[in-house]
Amino acid sequence: MSESISDGDLDRVTAAVAALEPRPRQRRWVSVTFCVVDAVWSIGSRYDSTVVPVVKRVADDFGVLEASVPNAAPASEDPVPLQRFRGAYDVDSLTKRTNRQRTSTSGGALKAEAALEYARILVSHRIETINDARSAIADPALFNRVESDLKKVPGDGSHGIRRGYFWMLVGDDSRVKPDRMVLRWFASQQLNLNPDQAAHVIAQVVERLNSTSGESAVTAWEVDHAIWNAGRRLPVVRRQR
């Protein structure tokens, strides 16, 4: 299927997304280190039972009692700059503290290795705090250089979902994470999309919602998150051999 869908399908999907009542981001991580850990471990993992506990174990190691805060909370100093994260762990110690998951099921790198490589690359571009990362989003030249390096880290995948999700976690509400939960929801709407197609359709839905709403603008993050939440409540459909 091409990236475009029929106007009828787009109308139908837009109405289905509106019914999900997309809401603004409620909470955010307080450190760029936690964003890195979340982005790396979230690929292929259960979020509530695996990813959140991994982030909290890392936060505990640095004495951070509140790893996340309400999104509306005032900005504060990053409690775990990436140099501090890199200095506290090597691959072996981070693996022991988290788990032995790999970036792919076919012999990928340990996720601990990928997270530390993410940190190394970001620091090499003078991105050490969450505010540094947010500033990079607004600097196209720097952003493109960082992206070019991050995509080389094992586990990036053919659609760059992990990279996009990292910037989402940092605070970019224009990005989406078209992972298997999002694709599952689209499939429940009779649309079998790949991640790039799903991202394109989400952008079209956002545009339509904002053109018909008299309220504050809906962001791509809000639509993506509403779809993701709906998708993870759907049963997994096993394909027949």
56-71 pLDDT, tens digit per residue, is 999 999 999 999 999 9
Reported confidence tier of residue 169, pLDDT bands at 50, 70, 90: very high
Residues 169-173, mean pLDDT to the nearest whole number: 96
**Residue 239's pLDDT is what?**
47
Say how far apart CA 191 and CA 120 lie, in whole Å.
39
Q: What is the pLDDT of residues 23-59, one digit of tens each?
A: 999 999 999 999 999 999 999 999 999 999 999 999 9
Say how far apart CA 82 and CA 128 lie, in whole Å.
5
**Residue 33's pLDDT is what?**
98
pLDDT at 19 over 90: yes
Reported confidence tier of residue 238, pLDDT bands at 50, 70, 90: low
**Residue 212's pLDDT is what?**
80
Tokens of 109: 């790198």
Tokens of 214: 């008299």
Query: Which residue blocks in the chain are alpha helix, DSSP H?
Result: 7-19, 32-42, 52-61, 82-88, 91-97, 111-124, 130-137, 140-150, 161-170, 180-188, 195-212, 220-232
Q: Answer left, alpha or beta for residue 3, where phi above 0 means left and psi between -120 and 50 means alpha.
A: alpha
With pLDDT > 90 as the criterion, what percentage of the chain qualifies?
90
**Residue 107's pLDDT is what?**
80
**Residue 105's pLDDT is what?**
82
Tokens of 158: 């053919």
**Residue 4's pLDDT is what?**
67
Query: If you average pLDDT over every residue of the chain, what do you get?
Result: 94
**Residue 240's pLDDT is what?**
44
pLDDT at 122 over 70: yes
Tokens of 53: 């506990």
**Cβ atoms of residues 185 and 231 within 8 Å:** yes
Which of residues 4 and 141 earns the better pLDDT score?
Answer: 141
pLDDT at 211 over 60: yes
Say how far apart CA 200 and CA 2 lie, in whole Å.
10
**Residue 213's pLDDT is what?**
64
Eight-state DSSP code of residue 110: B
**Cβ atoms of residues 202 and 176 within 8 Å:** yes
